[in-house]
Structure 1
Amino acid sequence: MKLLPELPEVETVRSGLEAQMVGQRISKVLLRRDGLRFPFPENMEERMVGAEVGAVERRAKYLIIRLNTEDDWLVHLGMSGYFSLINGKGSIANYEPLKHDHVLVEFENGFIAVYNDARRFGVMDLFPAGREDEHRLITHLGPEPLSDSWDARVLAKSLSRRKTAIKVALLDQKVVVGVGNIYASEALFRARISPLVESAKIVGKSGKNMRSTLLVSEIKKVLREAIAAGGSTLKDFKSVDG
């Protein structure tokens, strides 16, 4: 089964992009194809040029790059997408793109952000600034596992009527976002919960209990450890630093 970049891997990319992009102004955008998983938005190049990056945030496995215009920039890495930050080239014209370098973004300070995606399962879009919760790819998403508001009580409410196996439920982005296969397996192992047990049995009739409390705690720990380590070692995953 193919492993996808999950929350820790995307958070690692977010951190790397934030360090280089925030406060920088986009001077040129080159799209080397019409789209990735979906077509690029209309006039994407023109809408991005001149914008300054205000922040790089994450929602689930989506990167949200805040621009000081009426648009924000949405990115999903898909199965194999990654950014490279090229310093010292000064211009897209001086950079020799690789076969799968599909999007090149040049900044006024001379570095270039290059998005490479061999499988083209990634996503890039522009949406009205600050309104990501209305985006068709985000509106259905569940809670963030590392947020203070996601606790055993919230998990219990999500699982109370589910008959699916607990591991399957944890992979459902409506239950909790970004946990993914390897992190769900590790958290369940640490919590001593079989991945095959029925979801509703984790919480029982009373809702929040010791097992659900422990499971939430282990999920948070596993994800934080992975982020601290720069994400898990995935065959096709590359951080901003490669």
Structure 2
Amino acid sequence: MDPTSPQLALRQIDHAYLGRTVIGGVSLEVTAGEVVALVGPSGCGKSTLAQIAAGVLTPLRGRVERRYRRHGMVFQEPRLLPWATAGDNIAYPLRAGGMGRRERRLKVEAAAARVALDSADLGKYPVELSGGMRQRTAIARALAVEPDFVYFDEPFTALDVALKRRMQDLVIAAARAAHFGALFITHDLIEAVRVAHRVAVMDLHGRGINGERRIPGQPGERDDGELYRLVTRFLAEDDLFRHIHDVDERRLP
């Protein structure tokens, strides 16, 4: 595949719930190996767009073009099976795909190692794991299928600042190692500029993408002070980011 062609392309996506339009005319592209962070006000339809992109929801109008082999998904909640161990949760999509036990075990161990999940924790049930360990398990489950594209739907919102940073580092390292493309949904602009190559800003009312900004340097190689100054400038001087902390309560579930 041409490295400049998009792995994911959303073309004029419209969607509605119960006759009420929640997304209108949204177009966005993500190229191979690129992490694009999608930010915008609460209730603007970011998560709905991610679910449409991943095929979980069917858009009312528009076209989704997926040019990747397989994708993984990481949600805000880990969504682990409570009756299965961490290892079995990671193995779930592999088992569903018919992979044999031996190969499954090797894939699980490799995925766990990539997110710094100790082998001793693979035999524990979700209730025995901390919030951070549960999210590591969820990330490992997404990586176990060796995706070339990953959807992250506000995966670290519920975590404290220090733990959130460690999870971001895992994503940065995994994306660099596997060279997968990703759509990263977040309401945290600091997180967006830290993990992504490019930040796209969704309209307050879900009416398209207002604009994009490419972030200097590469994820994992940027100076924290520089990123802080960049975010401060975005919020203070760049009209594109004027409404990202607004809340449209009528559009929230």
TM-score by length of 1: 0.27
Q: TM-score, normalised by structure 2?
A: 0.27
Larger RCO (alpha carbons 8 Å, 6+ apart): 2
